[in-house]
Structure 1
Amino acid sequence: MDLVGRKAQLGSLRGILSEAGSRGAAVLVRGAPGIGKTSLLAATGALAESLGFRVLRAVGVEAESDLPFGGLHQLLRPLGPAQTEGSAPHRLVLAAALGHAEAEVPDVFMVGLAVLDLIADVAATAPVLILTDDIQWLDDATVSVLAFMARRVGSEPVVMVGAARDGYRSRLTPDEVTTVPLEPLSDDDAAALLADRAPGLRPAARRRLLAAAAGNPLALTELSRTLGKAADPDETRLPLTERLERAFTDRLATLPAGTRTILRVAALDNGSTLTEIFAAARFLAGDAVGIAELEPALRAGLVSVDGIELRFGHPLMRSAIQQTMPTAERQAAHGALASVLDDHPDRHARHRAAATSAADETVAQALEDVALRAARRGAVAEAVTSLEHAAALSGDAARRTERLLRAADYAVELGRPESVNRLLDHAQSTTLSARQHATAVWLRGSFDEGLGGHPGSVVSLTALAESVAADDRALALRILWSAAQLCFWSEPGPEARHRVLNAVEGMALDDLDPWRLAICAYAAPVERGAFVLNGIQDMTPNDGDDGRAYRMLSTATLLAGGFDAARAFAASGSIGLRAQGRLGLLARTAGAQAWSDIVVGDLGAAISATEEARRLARETTQTMMYALMTAIGAKLAALRGDVDDALRLAEEAEEIGLPAGARPVLAIALIARGTAALAAGRFEEALDHFRRVHDPADPAFQIALRLTAVGDLVDAAMHCGRAESVVPIVAELEDIAAVTPAPVLHAELRLARALLSDDDAAEALFEAALGADLAAWPLIRARTHLAFGEWLRRRRRSVESRDHLRVARDMLDALGAIPWGDKARRELRAAGETSRRRDPDARDQLTPHELQIVQLAAEGLTNREIGRQLYLSHRTVSSHLHRIFPKLGVVSRTELRMVVGDLR
């Protein structure tokens, strides 16, 4: 019969399926155990097949949740060899993840892209429905892939429908997934279902059962089989889930001994093939066991057989059976399974470990090997679980601690502070070596950029690094890098900064070592600015093989004020990080590129980089990086004249950054507010914002980022007649400029000097500012022309002012700094010359995501190549371009190149 009481939910899913030709979707069905999630998914699958969909299915099983990519195996199995065939480089990664090839998977996101490409190819011939039941028990690697795909199927003929129990914490935000909650059935629907399932019940029994089941469809079915017990006063006080489990175990007790043995083995098996279940049951029982012994369970509806696989009628049956097994019986069953899995080393090791209660170094080592294999395949969460179990079985205390520390290190990579703290608590319950202690302390502070630590964290981290430098320099550098990064995110004071410098300079590293350059830049961007900038002159970005090193160099150069070089290092680093699927580091590298693009003035590139960095920071759960990129987005919006967006983004960034004291977030958000006020002509407000950026007592003070807000500070002061209020700040910055060659600071100060000088010296200073090499600083050059033209016009030298104002207008229009281009027009009109209005360009007509695709397409990349760059399917890229061409009025990529070329 039709699903009772689920007409509305099935209707919603029907609507989503009907729109799959124009857009994909991700749906999460939520509800209590037995509420009908599985039935709704089954009905959705049947409906989809009738509409011509290709349906792929996976079901989470608690016993299989530690098998890396186990759910993905289920999902892709119907595709056969196609799942790992093809020329795409990422297909090798998918083959490695599924165990079909030997290759290292640097990040699970590479697997996600390979699966997305594969599903997109399948969807080219028929729309695809992906059904995943009991997501809460799918392995973590599979869930990561599914979340990756769910964020990207909007342009694909692909619908993803998953089901999870109430309380499951989805990795998707509400705007990324449609949630379909399943509530208990209404009284009328519950009565109708019960009448169908148990038509012969007497009225009194029906009333008791309806009350006991509370609208739960599974309870209506199962409790009707044990009505007397279910209606017992003591029994009805139990939670419904526990009553259902007891109902299942009561039914289990009525089965023959051989049948119970099979079901107990199956309940613990992290596989589901009849062959291995029967073999393990024979080993356990010592008797012949086969399909005949399984038959009673089949007749009772407890299990079903699909080909060679055994399936429980409901997950509660499996958990009920597990809970009734005494420890000795459970361990014996695990041992029996291990005995028949010699050809599956990872599963063999896990069952062998589950059969072991005492310390056993051999088993512990086998589990550690399982963990390392899982990590190489990109299944980091499963590596954590295996290492923790290995530690519990370790016979040697030192090995136990090392395994816990390694598990904690992996948990840091996953972004799970609660797991890290739990693992480290266990590790620190015994005496640690100096190196182990240093590792533990360092790992505890690895979240939220280390801002959760105490004010002395920089000093304590540096001391830790110094304590292990002689024995483990690699570890010492990692710890010192954390201390240096904390110098960026907080303000530890000059003594702490010098302590970091002394430590890194005492390690006898090569002058061009990326670690040394980056640590120096983060700890002392002014004092070591010359060292960093001189060092990078001898380093040429190449093909970006070492993405991490180039990411470090890009941010080091940025903090030293060399934003033009920072862009080159960021672009080079992105190549390697994209190829490796290391989206967490890519978010940071794209962030460095975005801020550099903004400071330099390449706002077209900044739009794309900012959007990508912000999206990836959120996807990789880097909270402070997301806040920082949101602040950078606010600055970009202000430069583009989107004042309301700028203020909204600045507020969002501050809500995250202020409680943590994240100075870069607060600094850039405040700079964005000042820029927005400048754009709107609110000069007093702008001045107040920019003065705070330069106030050491303000939580938004950041010694490197303030160097980018000098010209704006003076500009605001001049326009509201308060030049004297900023003279001391500029004088201090002049002293800083004597220490560091930071190009951005010197370029900004040349403009500030001209603005602040008296009339006798101003003209020469403006000319000196424009005479400097500003090829790498188009925004500062344009702003200088604008300021000079404005100065000339106000001194009634209108004819001379026009040349500068025209240059400023044209440059600012080309850069996309709309409020300043409009200001140049107003100044030109006041000088007696009219200007046509700025024509909208691609930056105004396209979303940031579309603009990024256009820029790559204009470089000559194919759809597949663009997809690999942006971690999208080639079909999604094609769909975007199909919508983009009409927006821009072009019909070919040749014309597209011309449009994008006009932005440069």
Structure 2
Amino acid sequence: MDASLVGRQEEIARVDALLDAARQGQGGALVLRGEPGIGKTSLLRHAEQAAGDFLVMRAFGAEFEMELPFAVLHQLCAPILSNVTALPVPHRKALEIAFGLDTGTPDPFLVGVATLGLLIEVAPERPLLCLVDDAQWLDHASARALAFLARRVAGERVALLLSVREPYRLPEFDKLPSLTLKGLGELDARALLAAAIRAPLDERVRDRILAEARGNPLALLELPRSAGLAGMAGGFALPPSAPGVIEQSFRARLELLSPQARLLLTVAATDPVGDPGLLWRAAELLGIEPSASTEASALVEFGTRIRFSHPLARSAAYRAASADDRRRAHEALAAVTDPAADPDRLAWHRAEASTGPDEEVAAELERSAARAQARGGVAAAAAFLERSAALTLTPDLRTERVLAAAQAKLSVGAYDVAAELLTAAETAPLDQRQRARIDLLHGKLSFARRRGGEGPTTYLLSAAARLADLDPAWSRACYLDAMETGILVGGLGPVAAAAREAPPAPQPPSSADAVLDGLVTLVTDGHLAAAPVLGPVVGNAGDEVWARWPSMGFMLAVELWDHDALHGVPARVVAAGRESGSFHLLPIGLAMLATASVHAGDFGAATEMISEEEAIAAATGAAPLVYPRLHLAAMRGRREEAVKLFDSVLAASQRMSLSVQWATSVLNNGLADYRAALEAARQAVAHGDLGLSGLALPELVEAAVRCGETELAASALRTLSERTRAGRQAWGLGVEAYSRALVTEDENAYHEAVEHLDATPMAIYRARAHLLYGESLRRQGRRREARERLRTAHELLSDLGAQAFADRAAAELRATGEHARSRSSQASDQLTLQELHIARLVADGASSKEVAAKLFLSPRTVDAHLRNIFRKLGLTSRRQLKDLPGIR
């Protein structure tokens, strides 16, 4: 056993268990964490030795290659890339784009899906072990793809083992299983030190060494090499604190080598790809004799890949080299790098070899940034642009590159670096357009950080004002951005007042111009004044304006009660997300479309979309968007299930409190707990949030009438009527009509409500109109007429799965002397959201592989879910799913 693994029995057992599970088709991932020299690399070596029956794939992060997108993933997949032809075309293309073999813009998580498919193609032959050392230096794109992969190998013969040096932190790996290596206990440390030092050692010196090393195995092993036995035995060469002593030890060993061997090691450290052909061509340019490799082999293995004995040896070799030797190494590697096959690595080496401003290299880096951006490497683009700016001599051009770098840094969440770049840009001479760009970036930074200081809308409004004369169209777009931000963070009123100063819209105005003017009018003058401007644009779900501001389009559809736009805007977002493979856009579209489906009464479709959105969230490590689940739980009306969800949402974020209050009002109106519904609806309406308060108004009217709060009900009705009359949409007019009937007891209003809602897909609102009408008739003693309405309501609500409202209708029917038919048990009642989604897909004829691709699972995991579905429903085959109530 490796001496550095003394005292690591528990850690070895954990790694061995991971390998054993992978052999049995229960793969997984493990992140090894700890300080330098603590034994992470030794555990990776142990895993490789213990996995004799595995195909082992290796990769390592390199501090000098963090800027190249998918660099580490490419390293890892290189041995099996010949299997890429077996993947579906979109997945194959995603990998080819990521690895620079094609052009396009892949999402890192789509690349993760493709990588999973690639591993699955190989795993049936033999289990796979993927080893990634020094993962703290992964490029951003590789880190996201590997994190996705780690969460999705549970059903495969794949083990993924990564080491991360503390105190570095990778947010992508925070939720993965981890093992933190601590220092050895005193007995184990003494045993390891005794194995390393065979000569007699003064007890006081031994104690000092043990104290300084703090149980770090590599420190204990390297001390004899760096300090020398004589020095330690005499008690004079006391070591510095570990882990700095470790790298110092490697540096000391480097000093014993010849200049040629040290230069060879510098070149090897400078090229983290580990390509021997590249290394020896560069060495030849530098006049390094091949014999130097013999001398350097104590620290580097020269084989089919160049591998350092320890990551710190690589770091020491690079950092110990003089600035001139590092520059010469980069220059030589640039000279031998293929400009066609690897232009970005070539540009980076040339940049590192530069001794001062160089416009040719700066321009080359800018082109590399554009290529990186196209391949989804936003972090790489940011690094290229930042370095490009540093090499730019012309002030205006340097400012443009600094601002572009700040934008890219902001996009990948490097907020502190983005802020530093903006500060640097502000010290240069700036024109108004550049100052506006800086304001916009400050606004985005403020929104992302959500810390004190000036709010994001302040910066956006400042940018809009600066651009008013210079670029009116851009100025108006900034005002619209500020309005959208005001909706999200609050303070929409002051933003709308400021936006009144926007430059006048061109004639004829664009859709974006109409939305800005209409939204300002809506906030300041009300719905009736704004509807003529907003209505036509909102009613055109295919308008390009909603491609840029989809959330605003969805909110305005709710505000104007436009059921077609409520479905059409998110349907377009979902289509665009699927086409582009964007795991940012698609979840937003799915959440909005699920919410629209809930209000149409299509709970099955809503369940599918919620399940898919949650699958994407699980795959990407993001938090799922919870609001469609709130809408579904409120309308389904299963009290215990809904209350549990509401409580968990509030516990996680008070920002969702108004949404929870709206959902609570709907739930309690369904349960006939009108006092609770009244209090919740009152809170949901009080803040006047666009979209949400409008939906809460009819709930407030109903609860207030039932509680005898007639003035409150009449006031809420007046507000609701203004909104629905403005929109003039059948959905809104129908809801307003049955709300008006509740307040005025005008029977004609119930007929009006049913007539309007019959013309819409909003089935649950149509059913509620029948329910309210039936309740009114029963209270008048008109039982026969009441039964007809209540029977219709009960059948509709039962078929939709709106349990609370259906039970309320059943109770009203019983009060007329008629018993409602009992609802037959639905298969969907017994399944989780994900199980129901899988069952519906399989019932429609999808194979396990097709379901797996859609839900970012492995086929094996889908089959495991199917077995659970069959057990719950008492089925034996996929064909039986097609005939089950609640599935199709």
Same fold (TM over 0.5): yes
Q: Report if the CA contact (8 A) 2:757-2:766 is conserved.
A: no
Opposite residue 400 of structure 1, the aligned amino acid is R
Counterpart in the other structure of 1:753: 740
The SS at the match of 2:31 is strand
Shift in CA distance, 479/153, structure 1 to aligned 2, threshold 3 Å: farther
Partner SS state of residue 171, structure 2 = coil
Quick one: distance in 2 between partners of 1:414 and 1:770?
A: 51
| Compared CA separation, residues 743 and 361, structure 1 to 2 (3 A) | farther
Question: Quick one: which of 371, 374, 377 aligns to 1:373?
Answer: 371
Q: Which range is displaced more, 429-438 or 121-130?
A: 121-130
2:175 matched to 1:188?
no
The answer as to 2:128 corresponding to 1:105 is no
Q: How far did 1:302 drift?
A: 1.6
Q: Secondary structure at 2:117's aligned position in 1? A: helix
Cα distance in 2 for partners of 1:554, 1:119 equals 40
Retained in 1: the 8 A contact 2:615–2:855? no
Partner in structure 2 of residue 483 of structure 1: 482
What pairs with 1:857-896 in structure 2 (closer than 5 Å)?
857-890=842-875, 895-896=880-881
Q: Which sits farther off after the overlay, 605-614 or 251-260? A: 605-614
Aligned to 1:443: 441
Partner of residue 72, structure 1: 73
CA distance in 1, matches of 2:841, 2:819: 36
Tell me which residue corresponds to 1:703.
690
Residue 60 (structure 1) aligned with residue 61 (structure 2): yes
Contact 2:619 2:856 in 1 (8 A): no
- What is the TM-score with the length of structure 2 in the denominator? 0.89
User: CA distance change for structure 1 residues 348 and 713 in 2, over 3 Å: closer, same or farther?
Assistant: same
Residue type of the partner of 1:811?
A: L
- Asked whether the equivalents of residues 733 and 756 of structure 2 are also in contact (C-alpha less than 8 Å), the reply is no
- 1:608 equivalent to 2:608? Answer yes
Shift of residue 491, structure 1, vs aligned partner: 4.3
**Percent of aligned positions with the same letter in both sequences?**
33
Deviates more, 1:472-481 or 1:146-155: 472-481
Structure 1's unaligned 5+ residue stretches are none
Separation of aligned partners in 2, 1:134 and 1:456: 39
* Pairing 1:814–2:799 present: yes
Encode CA deviations 1:34-58: one digit per residue, 9 max, x unaligned. Answer: 11112222223333444xx433222
Task: Decide whether the 8 Å contact of 1:57 with 1:130 is kept in 2.
Answer: yes
Pairing 1:766–2:762 present: no
Equivalent position amino acid for 2:409 in 1: A
User: RMSD value over aligned CA atoms?
Assistant: 3.4
Structure 2 equivalent of residue 691 of structure 1: 682
State how 1:604-753 maps to structure 2 within 5 Å.
604-613=604-613, 616=616, 629-643=625-639, 646-647=642-643, 649-650=645-646, 653-654=649-650, 658=654, 665-678=656-669, 682-695=673-686, 698=687, 701-753=688-740
Q: Judging changes above 3 Å, is the alpha-carbon distance between structure 1 residues 95 and 493 closer, same or farther for their aligned structure 2 residues?
A: closer
Q: Give the secondary structure class of the aligned counterpart of 1:58.
A: strand
Letter in 2 for 1:739: A
Residue deviations 1:707-758 (CA, integer Å, cap 9, x gap): 1112321232233333333321222222333333355433322221122224
| Residue 36 (structure 2) pairs with residue 36 (structure 1) | no
SS at match of 2:818: coil
Q: CA deviation at 1:813?
A: 2.4
* Cα offset, 1:119, TM superposition: 1.6
Counterpart residue number, 2:831? 846
Q: Contact between 2:771 and 2:790, CA under 8 Å: does it hold in 1?
A: yes
Residues 25 and 755 (structure 1 numbering): CA distance in 2 closer, same or farther, change over 3 Å?
A: farther
* Residues 221 and 169 of structure 1: CA distance in aligned 2, closer, same or farther (over 3 Å): same
1:438-482 CA-partner distances (Å, limit 9, x unpaired): 122112222585766878854763463364367657754653442
- Amino acid of the structure 1 residue aligned with 2:810: R
SS at match of 1:164: strand
Instruction: Measure, in 1, the Cα distance between the counterparts of 2:512 and 2:847.
Output: 34
Alpha carbons of 1:172 and 1:140: their partners in 2 closer, same or farther (altered >3 Å)? Answer: closer
Paired positions, count: 874
1:496 matched residue in structure 2: 495
Structure 1 residues 378, 559: CA separation in 2 closer, same or farther (over 3 Å shift)?
farther
1:529 Cα deviation from its structure 2 partner: 4.0
Q: Do residues 306 (structure 1) and 309 (structure 2) align?
A: no
In the TM superposition, what are the counterparts of 1:408-487 in structure 2 within 5 Å?
408-446=406-444, 458=457, 461-462=460-461, 464-465=463-464, 467-468=466-467, 475-476=474-475, 478-487=477-486
- Residues 672, 808 of structure 2: 8 Å contact kept: no
SS in 1 for 2:168: coil
- Over residues 865-904 of structure 1, what are the superposed CA-to-partner deviations in whole Å (9 max), with x where a residue is unaligned? 444444445554454445434444555555434447x467
Q: 1:793 aligns with which of 752, 758, 778?
A: 778
Stretch deviating more after TM superposition (854-863 or 454-463): 454-463
| 2:58 alignment partner AA | R
1:31–1:780 CA distance, 2 compared to 1 (3 A) = same
Deviation, structure 1 residue 433: 2.0
- Kept in 2, the 8 Å contact 1:595–1:606? The answer is yes
Aligned partner letter, 1:192: A
873 and 398 in structure 1: CA distance in 2 versus 1, 3 angstrom threshold? farther
1:827 equivalent in structure 2 = 812
C-alpha displacement of 1:668: 1.2
Question: Given that residues 392 and 398 in structure 2 are in contact (C-alpha distance below 8 angstroms), is that contact kept between their aligned partners in structure 1?
Answer: yes
Alignment partner of 1:120 is 2:123: no
- The worse-fitting range, judged by mean Cα deviation, of 495-504 and 358-367 is 495-504
- Verify the 8 A CA contact 1:633 1:646 in the aligned structure 2: no
| Aligned match of 2:768 | 783
How many angstroms apart in 2 are the aligned matches of 1:22 and 1:334? 44
Aligned letter for 1:177? L
Corresponding residue of 1:254 = 256
1:39 maps to a residue whose letter is S
* 1:375 alignment partner AA: Q
Over 3 Å counting, the alpha-carbon distance change for 1:739 and 1:603 in structure 2 is same
- What SS does structure 1 have at the residue aligned with 2:726? coil
Partner of 2:577: 577
Partner of 2:394: 396
Q: How far does the alpha carbon of each residue in 1:366-418 deviate from its partner, in whole angstroms, 9 at most, with x for none?
A: 11111111111111111111111111111111111111222222233324433
1:225 aligns with 2:212: no
CA distance in 2, matches of 1:16, 1:515: 58
The CA deviation at 1:546 is 10
Specify the SS of the correspondent of 1:5. coil
Alpha-carbon distance, 1:821 to partner: 2.0
Aligned mates of 1:411, 1:462 — CA distance in 2: 23
SS at match of 1:289: coil
Indicate conservation of the 8 Å contact 2:407/2:418, yes or no. yes
Tell me the equivalent position of 1:332: 328
Q: Which amino acid aligns with 1:694?
A: V
Is the CA contact (8 Å cut-off) linking 1:93 and 1:103 kept in structure 2?
no
Matched with 1:168 is 168
Which SS does the other structure have where 2:337 is aligned? coil
**Cα pair distance change 1:428/1:853, threshold 3 Å:** farther
- Whether the 8 Å CA contact 1:304–1:312 is kept in 2: the answer is yes
Distance 2:883 2:477 in 1: 46
Whole-Å separation in 1 of the counterparts to 2:224 and 2:497: 75
Give the superposition deviation at 1:61: 1.9
Q: Which residue of 2 aligns with 1:323?
A: 319
What is the match of residue 790 of structure 2?
A: 805
Give the letter aligned to residue 754 of structure 2.
L
Q: Conserved in 2, the CA contact under 8 Å of 1:30 and 1:179?
A: yes
CA deviations over 1:239-297 (Å, ceiling 9, x no partner): 3121111111111111122111111222222432333334434444xx4421x112122
Structure 1 length normalisation: TM-score? Answer: 0.88
> Which amino acid counterpart does residue 177 of structure 2 have in structure 1?
T
Q: 376, 380, 383: which one pairs with 2:381?
A: 383
Is the 8 Å Cα contact of residues 152 and 619 (structure 2) preserved in structure 1? no
Deviates more, 1:579-588 or 1:408-417: 408-417
Could you tell me how far 1:779 is from its partner in structure 2?
1.2
Aligned position for 2:176: 177
User: Where does the alignment leave 5 or more consecutive residues of structure 2 unmatched?
Assistant: none
Report the equivalent of 2:588.
588
1:634 Cα offset (Å): 3.0
Q: Contact (CA 8 Å) 1:600, 1:779: kept in 2 or not?
A: yes
CA distance in 1, matches of 2:722, 2:550: 31
The 3-state SS of whatever aligns with 1:703 is coil
Q: Counterparts of 2:775 and 2:887 in 1: how far apart (Å)? A: 26
